[in-house]
Amino acid sequence: MGQGNLSILVVDDEENIRNLVQDILEDEGYFVETAISIKDAKQKLKEKEFDIIFLDVWLPDGDGIELISDIKQSNKNAKIVMISGHANIPIAVKALKLGAYDFLEKPISTEAILAILEKAEEEIKKEIEFEFLKQKEETEIQIIGESPPIRKLKQQIQKVAKTNAWVLIYGENGTGKELVAKSIHYLSDRADKPFVDINCAAIPDDLFEAELFGYEKGAFTNAVSRKIGKLEIASGGTLFLDEVADLSLKAQAKLLRVLEEKTFTRLGGNQKIKVDLRVISATNKNIDEEIEKGNFRQDLAFRLSVIPLKVPPLRERGNDIILLAEHFLKVSCIENKMDIPEISEEVKKAFLKYLWPGNVRELKNLMERLCIFSTGKITIEDLPDYITGKQSKSVGINFGIRPLKEVREMAEKEVIKKALEKYGNKNLKQIAKILEVDLSSLYRKIKQYNLD
Ligand SMILES: Nc1ncnc2c1ncn2[C@@H]1O[C@H](COP(=O)(O)OP(=O)(O)OP(=O)(O)O)[C@@H](O)[C@H]1O
């Protein structure tokens, strides 16, 4: 231990204790300052921030405890370690209640100091990592767009984030529903607690309960150890139920019960666990239609959809398409350490005309690909034909009715041929990437279809 990058303040009026603590810490490579009174400490705290503060319970000009709230205001993350004689332990305990981190009992031993430091250092490291991850999350949840429907959506997000209301987000695939859910979470009072997502369409019915409630060891054959369920992890934070309309009626009944009662037991357990939840759900289906068809419970829809939010399809966002294209291109090129190419006016026009059935996700994937394959400027030739509207000769090829294997081979041959014409047979690596196959299987297919 002793990275030497933590700054420490020792506040004690007894010179021998100050020196002892300072010596031990400096031997370990820490940077240490000292103060002999509350007044002196306040001055030092004004001048700089400290990571760890050793604070005597009694100081000549007052109670060390008095300083805790001051420290908490100016050095929010500092860890305060009280130094206390045996007789003053109740005061040290009171200090812990006021937010002190730990206490050292006199006579002070080197081992005790080092043990506390090791623990504090570990915790500080975790806090820094958490802060870093949070900032990363925050940049990832940036919603790009200035079009009227997106402006309106951002305003709605700001408003609902301040409440605890449950939200149901509607929108086509890839429009950014999960992004909206995360924005609400990270703008809410729950931001420091987890955002836990469950993809309801991806969980088989018989695993739904285990996923939600968790289980005790031995609850069923494969339960080799205890598992905490997503409800428990999300407690205090936000539970995001993605593709909620895809839940079976059986799973819907179980979900409804726990959402109403706010308590549950792990499978195989008997202890009732209480949870504090905010639920945000999302669907690309029309819930009213699903209710009418008997696929979705009205009472569950009623619970989940206190506030409905609609995320518009990309084709209704006008120039946002260009803003998003430029944003994804920039992010992707920075990540790949490549120069950011310009997007030609023709390409922008084609983007504005295209309908984007896969919405923002489709645009993001395309820009990632264009970043990798571009050479200085993205021109209309770089775009796939289905975007530019150009019909290639092979489109509309009549396969007739024949074994699917043959159809697959004919289509493969056609696509590889086109790619070779466009990129040339010197760029097989690039073609393999575009077609999302290994270079070796591309070689094989070129041989198989006599394209070499
Ligand atoms: N307005 C936006 N600004 C920036 N990035 C966006 C925006 N909308 C969507 N994205 C990005 O596009 C991708 C797809 O978005 P997301 O996963 O939130 O869509 P979704 O509607 O939840 O999709 P699905 O219906 O498939 O679950 C994500 O990487 C997301 O960060």
Q: What would the pLDDT profile of 156-180 be if each residue is shown by its tens digit?
A: 999 999 999 999 999 999 999 999 9
6 pLDDT band, cuts 50/70/90, is confident
CA within 13 Å, CB half, 449: 19
- Cβ(99)–Cβ(73) below 8 Å: no
Atom of ligand 1 nearest to the CA of 364: 12
Q: Note the helical H segments in 142-214.
A: 148-161, 177-187, 205-213
| Total number of domains constituting the chain | 4
Element (H, E) at 255: helix 249-261
Residue 171 CA to ligand 1 centre (angstroms):
11
Residue 252 CA to ligand 1 centre (angstroms):
26
The residue to mutate among 178, 183, 323, having the most atoms of ligand 1 within 8 angstroms of its beta carbon, is: 178
Would you say the pTM of this structure is higher than 0.80?
no
Convert the pLDDT of each residue in 397-445 to its tens digit: 556 666 787 778 878 888 898 888 888 888 888 888 888 888 888 988 9
Domain assignment of residue 95, yes or no: yes
- ipTM at complex level: 0.98
Atom of ligand 1 nearest to the CA of 172: 25
Domain assignment of residue 393, yes or no: no
Residues with CB under 6 A from ligand 1: 143-145, 171, 173-179, 242, 284, 324, 360-361, 364
Check whether residue 203 and residue 232 sit in a common domain.
yes
Atom of ligand 1 nearest to the CA of 144: 3
Task: Classify residue 375 by its DSSP letter.
Answer: B
Q: What angle, rounded to 10 degrees, do the helices at 205-213 and 249-261 form? A: 20
Check whether residue 145 and residue 221 sit in a common domain.
yes
Check whether residue 424 and residue 374 sit in a common domain.
no
Domain assignment of residue 398, yes or no: no
Residue 354 CA to ligand 1 centre (angstroms):
18
Residue 210 CA to ligand 1 centre (angstroms):
28
Residue 141 CA to ligand 1 centre (angstroms):
9
Convert the pLDDT of each residue in 303-361 to its tens digit: 999 999 999 999 999 999 999 999 999 999 888 888 899 999 999 999 999 889 889 99
Check whether residue 104 and residue 195 sit in a common domain.
no
- Contacts (Cβ under 8 Å, ≥6 apart) of 112: 104, 105
- In the block, residue with structure tokens 């709230």: 69
